Every structure is written in structure tokens, then in C-alpha cells.
Structure 1
Amino acid sequence: MNASIKPIRHPRFDCVIFDCDGVLVDSEPIVNRVLNQMLNELGIEISLEDSTRWFLGRAVREELDNIALRRGAPLPENWLSQWLARRNAVLEAEVQAVPHVREAVTAIAAAGLPICVASGADRVKVKLQLSRTGLVALFQQDEREHIFSSTEVERSKPAPDVYLLAARTMNVEPSRCAVIEDSPAGITAGVAAGMTVFGYAARNDAASLLAAGARSTFTDMRELPGLIG
């Protein structure tokens, strides 16, 4: 455990739920770069900044109609599968864990707090990234994998479905769950689920996370155990 992280002596919650992209893995710059390239290839002239803002915390598969509308024509039949293949290939080559997140998660688990992942992304992406960074083992307990994704629910974030699924499966009341999120859409989902949300603002604007309902924000994962304790 990192010496700069103090042990949690009095946890305030019964479960800590982590978003994946931008919280556990530093994937968003990678994914946004590939998505921006593919949008421009479709003839949609859009800056990296604007496409990043558009898709922050949202699933691409749920924005297909909006992409077609902006293009002014239907998408090619295989566009979504091409997007997934290109995205996964680049993530496999480049994705890294968020700095100090391994130590923070380890400290929280060492306090006896159940932990899990609840992502708005598809399960293939979540597993690829957690495996690539070696974080997946942190969320495997008692021969069970405590990982939840948009693949298992009807609606992705900002709907609360994946967080409610996580709470049910972990057998914890939503009001006793802490959520770690980095996007307004994800924070909206956690708040709608009745959970306490902490906003990780290393890359995204802290004011927007607070406006979405975050209890507080932080910029260094070494701060997280102190917020939970």
C-alpha cells in the first residue's frame, strides 16, 4: 500500500462502486481520439474538443441516431462494428491505469469494504481495459467477478440502471453506496440511483461535476480513501 494513503478506520459506506473509463483506466483521451477520427471520416466536421464533450460519459451505441442526424445520411451498415474493432485495438495497445488508483482501491478493500465496477461501456471494453492494466483481479472475490456494464442493463448512463444492478447484486442499499465518477452523465446516474457520488476531476471540470450532483470532487486518487473514511 502507498505510504501516502492512510488506512480507513471508520468507513462511512457499505459498498464503493467505481466507474471504469476515466476513473480506473485513463482511456478517454484514447477513445475520444479514435472516435473523432471516425466521425470526420463520415463527413462530420467536428473538433476533438466538441466530440469529446458530446460523448463524455455516454455510450456510442446509444448515439447512433444522433450521429446519422448530424451526418445527414444513414450510417454505413457496419459502422458500429468497425468502431468497436478500432477502439478495442487501440485500447489494447495503449490504455493505462489511472495514477495511484491501484493503491486507492487496495486501501478501500483492505478496510473490508465491498467494491465493484459499474460502467456505462460494454462488457468487452470493460474487461479488456481492466485485464490490460492488471486491475481486474481487484474486483474478483470469492470466485465471483464484481463487474457490471451497460451490456447487462436496458439503459446506459445517465440512467441509473447499472448502479442499481450493482447495488442489488452486492446486496447493499443504494443509499449506503459511494460512487466514484468522472463525468456529469455518470454522476447523474449515481445520484438518480440514490447514491453518494464523488467526482474525480483530474481531466474534467470540477464545477460541472458538482453541478451534476457530486458530493465533492478530488484530483488525486490518493485522496479517495480519506473521502470514503
Structure 2
Amino acid sequence: MFEAVLFDCDGVLVDSEPITNGVLRQMLNEAGWALSQAECMHIFIGKAVRDERARIERETGKPLTEDWMRAFYARRDQRLRAELQTVPGALQAVAAAHRGTSGRIACASGADRPKVVMQIQMAGMHTYFGDRIFSGHDQPRSKPFPDVYLAAAAHLGADPARCLVIEDTATGAQAGIAAGATVWGYCPEGHGRAFDGLTVARVFRHMDELAQALVL
């Protein structure tokens, strides 16, 4: 059915978004930008922190320095190591995709590569992905641009039009669509409104639905 399956990481394979955004919100509050957790999630989910550099600098009145980013990464990773949980059923879905494509799967994330590698290892998925882990930070443009998905497809020798992308955010879905792939949206809340107006081919609520679909 598909030549390759390309997975996002945060929110698809691991439940990392509340942890990462919790640390980010705390640090932004400390820097002078008072925003709620819901506001922080709305602004930053699916994006790299640096993508919102201008807004951060405007709201805090301070430059977004490399020292601040290093401190954020350190505090974030400490929390992730202590609290990270795998999305229920994600390991089984990855295994099904690996079997169904003879190993032609990849993780294509908008997050920094060290974080993605760490999370995949913690989730017990490194055996399936190996070196097929791609970060938007390493591409000319990150999501919602298609660069990271095009890089993953090229590495696998797969036609992007024959790739399935699994995403949980509008930003990521836009990247997959722009790459020419088929996008399925993971939406555990069940309403799928995150993908309104986007040509997402299928929305599913549980990872076991994905695992079952990939073995048909």
C-alpha cells in the first residue's frame, strides 16, 4: 500500500509535548513572559522554539541567546528522562510498519536530533529506526515546510507520493502534504479539529488502529 512510513516523534511516538512545553513555559515566565500552559501549547506545539524567536524577544524584551537555549535543552532533557512515556500502542504500530515495508520506516521530527534520538531509545524503538532519524533542525527549513520528510524519503529511496506520514499537529501535517505524501492524523481526543482545512486522508484515535491498518 505504501513504500515507506514516516513518523513524527513528539505526540506520535512519545507523550513529550506536555513535559517540553511545561519547561518552556516556566522558563519564559522566568524571563518575563507570563503565559498559561494552554497558551504555550497553542503557540509552540509542532514548532521549534527558535521558530518563534521574534515573538519571544518581543514578549520578554530580551534576546534569545544560545546560553538560554542550552539551559532550556538541559532542563527539558532532565524532565524527559525522568517522566517520558511512550504513546500507548506506538511501539506495536512502529513494529507493524517495519514489517509491512521491509524496514523502510523513518522518524522525521521538527525537534532537535539529540532529543529525538534520546526519546526513541527510551521508547525501545531504536532497533526499528536505526540511523533513519531526521531532524528539521538539520534541514534548510523545518516544518511546516516539507524538507525533513523529503530528506527521509530520499534516504529510504522512496517516492514521497508513495509514503505515509503519521502526524499529530497541523504544522506537521502541512509538511507531509507539501512533501506530496499521504498524511494520516493521530488525534487521541477524537475530534480531529487540529486538521481542519487540511487534506489529511485519515484521522485515527488509537495507535492500535494504525497497527491494524498497516498489516492489511
TM-score by length of 1: 0.88
Q: Match for residue 167 of structure 2?
A: 181
User: How far apart are residue 204 of structure 1 and its match?
Assistant: 8.2
SS state at 2:185 partner: strand
Give the distance between the partners of 2:158 and 2:60, measured in 1 at CA: 44
Residue 123 (str. 1) matches residue 113 (str. 2): yes
User: How far apart are the structure 1 equivalents of 2:146 and 2:198?
Assistant: 14
* Change beyond 3 A, Cα 1:155–1:204: farther
Q: Which residue of structure 2 lines up, in the alignment, with residue 92 of structure 1?
A: 81
Pairwise CA RMSD: 1.6
**d(CA) in 2 for partners of 1:50, 1:223:** 30
Residue in structure 2 matched with residue 18 of structure 1 by the alignment? 7
Secondary structure class of the residue paired with 1:213 = coil
- Tell whether the 8 Å contact from 1:188 to 1:212 is kept in structure 2 after alignment: yes
Gaps spanning 5+ residues in structure 2: where? none
Which whole-Å CA distance do the structure 2 matches of 1:160 and 1:76 have between them? 27
Tell me what 2:23 maps to.
Answer: 34
**Stretch deviating more after TM superposition (198-207 or 117-126):** 198-207
- The percent identity for this pair of structures is 45
Report whether the alignment pairs 1:104 with 2:93.
yes
Secondary structure (helix, strand or coil) at the match of 1:17 reads: strand
CA distance in 1, matches of 2:7, 2:76: 22
Q: Does 1:166 align with 2:152?
A: yes
TM superposition shift of 1:161: 0.5
In structure 2, C-alpha distance between the alignment counterparts of 1:66 and 1:185, rounded to whole Å = 18
For 1:102 and 1:176, the matched residues in 2 are separated by 23
Q: Which moved more, 1:23-32 or 1:205-214?
A: 205-214
Relative to structure 1, the CA distance from residue 69 to residue 134 in structure 2 (aligned partners, 3 Å threshold; closer, same or farther) is same
Aligned to 1:62: 51
Q: Cα offset for 1:93?
A: 1.2
Count how many residue pairs are aligned between Structure 1 and Structure 2: 214
Equivalent position SS for 1:69: helix
> Which whole-Å deviations, capped at 9, do the CAs of 1:109-131 have from their partners, x for residues lacking one?
22234111000111010011111
Please give the per-residue CA displacement for 1:32-91, whole angstroms capped at 9, x wherever unaligned: 111111111111111100110000100012222220012233345621111111111111
Q: Is the 8 A contact 1:57 1:120 kept in 2?
A: yes
1:174-213 maps to which residues of 2 (within 5 A)?
Answer: 174-202=160-188, 206-213=192-199
Indicate the residue corresponding to 1:138 in structure 2: 128
Which structure 1 segments of 5+ residues have no match?
A: 1-11
Q: CA deviation at 1:96?
A: 1.5
Q: Report the CA distance shift for 1:63/1:204 in structure 2 as closer, same or farther (over 3 A).
A: farther
Stretch moving more, 104-113 or 150-159: 104-113
Q: 1 CA distance for matches of 2:190 and 2:8?
A: 14
Point out the more displaced range, 173-182 or 129-138.
129-138
In the alignment, the residues of structure 1 paired with residue 58 and residue 191 of structure 2 have an alpha-carbon distance, to the nearest angstrom, of 28
Give the aligned partner of residue 224 of structure 1. 210
Query: 1:14·1:176 contact (CA, 8 Å) conserved in 2?
Result: yes
Contact map agreement 2:4 2:101 (CA 8 A) in 1: no
Q: Is the 8 A contact 2:190 2:205 kept in 1?
A: no
Q: Secondary structure at the match of 1:212?
A: coil
